[in-house]
Structure 1
Amino acid sequence: MTVSEPRRDRRSTGGRPRVVVLGTGGTIASSADSATQLHDYRVTAGVEDMFTAIPELHALADLRAVNLLQLDSHAIDSAALLTIARRVAKELADPEVDGLIVTHGTDTLEETAYFLNLVLKSTKPVVVVGAMRPASALSADGPLNLYNAVRVALAPAAHGKGVLVVMNDRLFAARDVAKAHTTAVEAFEAAEEGCLGRIACGGIHLFHAPLRLHTAATSFSLDRLAELPMADIIFDHQGAGIHHYHAAIDAGARGIVLAATGNGSLSPSARLGAELAARAGVAFVRSSRVGRGIVTPSFDDETLGMVAAGSLNPQKARILLMLALTQSHELHHLRSCFERY
């Protein structure tokens, strides 16, 4: 079921829009022992603490804090993904809610954003935001990122664009964005597709819109989705061994994503691994470790029953593969999902 557009009758709140800010932890909610310490920090703050630190937020909207998780994002697993998605869907179903922000650690932010982009059934703005520097740091970027995220969630142009990511004055589509630097505040980019827009001088400037199916237009649903199937990522390289494939299959993986070289090329061991996966009934997706470009279909895909990941990096290909496998293991279905989403 698609969540309808928000109600415009705000008489009970003086006509002000309502935005939910859902906290999951991460650097944006962290602090360190000194203002110059930019690593080895701890998650210490709840959403209410962020509100206190950024009083300007209250001039934008009526805000409601939801402290859902207190995790570094590298600790988020499939169960946590489902917890986040179900709570976001619940909040969006409230007709009084106009938009929603998810604060999140940056290490796996792109994966959570893409998962939400595939399973949420709402046209309301959902913005995922994080920070590269803890709240205690000199020139902390979290406060302005969060302020901008709320502004984007209130922008009429943000409706129906799928899940968005706001970082460093730029606005990205969840499918396109990736973390591309370990520590810089400009760590997030969409190298091939580009950002959807920019935030400058008090304005939200959108230039593009996502074309791949998302949110209300996908076939995925959180209904009756108790868990996600296991899928592993294997990194290919010179002299790679076959043991990783045996381990994944023996551990019960239903899908394998290969972070392959170049245009999804397979080393001799990766080819043997694909053959092992095919015999075991394990789905096999070719992505690339390169970081940009499109993995195109290959003659080997037919021979070995593989799926080309297109422009999805390995970590996002895994997200889509897990969801696709909840519907069917058939090769034509998996390929269709990677072509549409």
Structure 2
Amino acid sequence: MSHKTVKQWALFVFSAVLISSAAIAQTKPNVVILATGGTIAGAGADVTNSATYQAAKVPVDKLIAGIPQLGSVANVRGEQVFQIASESFTNANLLTLGKRVAALARQDDVDGIVITHGTDTTEETAYFLNLVVHTDKPIVVVASMRPGTAMSADGMLNLYSAVTVAGSKDARGRGVMVVMNDEIDSGRDVTKAVNNKVEAFRSPWGPLGFVVEGKNYWFRRLDKRHTVNSEFDIEKINALPLVEIAYAGGNVDDVAYRAFAKAGAKAIIHAGPGNGSVSGALVPVLQELRGKGIQIIRSSHVNAGGFVLRNAEQPDDKYDWIVAHDLNPQKARILATVALTATSDTKELQRIFMEY
């Protein structure tokens, strides 16, 4: 074989490899990872530090580089949107993130989106995106309970699972999801129920499904309105009104409620015991605030799930109050901030709380 022939053959083989590699890349989904910080990007001083560490230290490119297996399931690229601990998330952060997610979802070369996040407010961000981003493409919020430097760190597997879910065709149309500890939960339902275990997130109505070794197993769908079926659109929202949560228990007084009203709150979530119960001493206070135009929304701080029934415990129709249905106080705050950008009519707001 001549030198020229060998060279031609080598060029042919090299071209075939390039074409084959390109074909494989085209068959894999394109997933964008938006990083916001949190424990999943945290680092501790020692491998034994699973609860004592600094959050939001590792940039997204290092998170991706640390899991080379991601390349076998998706074409992955990352963007650093924020680098903060999630307890510091503000309404402005939500708007910035929501608009970026929506912009990516409109791109033909994006099949799914993953958001890395701190666990403290994962449920709030996931629910916000579930309300305002119009797409049927999978949007997955992922977090971890232990920093990557700890023994038995959970972030690596959580992120791998999140990418596989975000790139799955069978995950389309299910709303915004939270993937952690092998579970696929609805961003609408899920809540952080434990603060020091990897099985920290729970949904009172159960997970949507599970992901095991990159394969999804589905068991239910979210029946509430979300994403493509939502009447709210992040592209039309540039500011969110102030909504605050007042926690009520035994011996509660009116200090927090009046302070929130004075600060300009458009609505107050009453996080009451049981069925969103309101103490006798608070009833006239909440009536007074409602008379000043502030929306009063009865929620429950019961952790295991349940309903706040309208006109049970309190005559909501008479007082022109709203009930949060099965939403916990923090999710009720998110829905109220979004809903109040569209209406201040109590009946309309109650409809929204029942539908979303």
Please tell me the residue identity of whatever aligns with 2:238: A
- CA apart distance, 1:91: 1.0
1:204-243 equivalence runs, <5 A: 204-243=216-255
Identity %: 40
Please tell me the residue identity of whatever aligns with 2:59: G
Tell me the equivalent position of 1:6. Answer: none
Tell me the equivalent position of 2:26. Answer: 14
Tell me the equivalent position of 2:168. Answer: 155
Q: Distance in 1 between matches of 2:315 and 2:46?
A: 54
Q: Secondary structure at the match of 2:76?
A: strand
- CA apart distance, 1:203: 2.0
Tell me the equivalent position of 1:256. Answer: 268
Q: Secondary structure at the match of 2:77?
A: strand
Q: Which runs of 5+ in 2 are unaligned?
A: 1-21
**Which segment drifts farther, 219-228 or 164-173?**
219-228
Please tell me the residue identity of whatever aligns with 1:41: Y
- CA apart distance, 1:12: 9.8
Q: Distance in 1 between matches of 2:272 and 2:134?
A: 33
* In the alignment, structure 1 residue 74 sits paired with structure 2 residue 48: no
Please tell me the residue identity of whatever aligns with 2:281: S
- Kept in 1: contact 2:161–2:214 (CA 8 A): no
Q: Secondary structure at the match of 1:316?
A: helix
Q: Distance in 1 between matches of 2:41 and 2:281?
A: 42
Tell me the equivalent position of 1:186. Answer: 199
* In the alignment, structure 1 residue 275 sits paired with structure 2 residue 287: yes
Tell me the equivalent position of 2:188. Answer: 175
Tell me the equivalent position of 1:288. Answer: 300
1:43-62 equivalence runs, <5 A: 43-62=56-75
- CA apart distance, 1:224: 3.3
- Kept in 1: contact 2:164–2:214 (CA 8 A): no
Q: Which has the higher Rg, Structure 1 or Structure 2?
A: 2
- CA apart distance, 1:52: 1.4
- CA apart distance, 1:53: 1.1
Tell me the equivalent position of 2:328. Answer: 313
1:207-252 residue CA offsets vs partner (Å, 9 max, x unmatched): 1010000001011012232210000000011111111111111110
Please tell me the residue identity of whatever aligns with 2:72: A
Q: Give TM-score, length-normalised by structure 2.
A: 0.91
- CA apart distance, 1:300: 1.5
- CA apart distance, 1:270: 2.9
Aligned equivalent of 1:328, options 312, 336, 343: 343
- Kept in 2: contact 1:259–1:289 (CA 8 A): yes
- CA apart distance, 1:272: 2.7
Q: Distance in 2 between matches of 1:21 and 1:273?
A: 46
- CA apart distance, 1:285: 0.5
Q: Which runs of 5+ in 1 are unaligned?
A: 1-9
- Kept in 2: contact 1:242–1:272 (CA 8 A): no
Q: Distance in 2 between matches of 1:11 and 1:277?
A: 63
Q: Distance in 1 between matches of 2:69 and 2:331?
A: 35
Q: Secondary structure at the match of 2:81?
A: strand
Q: Distance in 2 between matches of 1:326 and 1:19?
A: 31
- CA apart distance, 1:205: 0.3
Considering only aligned residues, what root-mean-square deviation do their CA atoms show, in Å?
1.3
Please tell me the residue identity of whatever aligns with 1:323: V
Q: Give TM-score, length-normalised by structure 1.
A: 0.95
- Kept in 1: contact 2:51–2:196 (CA 8 A): no
Tell me the equivalent position of 2:112. Answer: 99
Q: Alignment length, in residue pairs?
A: 331
- CA apart distance, 1:156: 1.7
1:159-198 residue CA offsets vs partner (Å, 9 max, x unmatched): 000001101000101111000001100000112x101111
Aligned equivalent of 1:40, options 52, 55, 80: 52
1:58-85 residue CA offsets vs partner (Å, 9 max, x unmatched): 1111111000000100000100010110
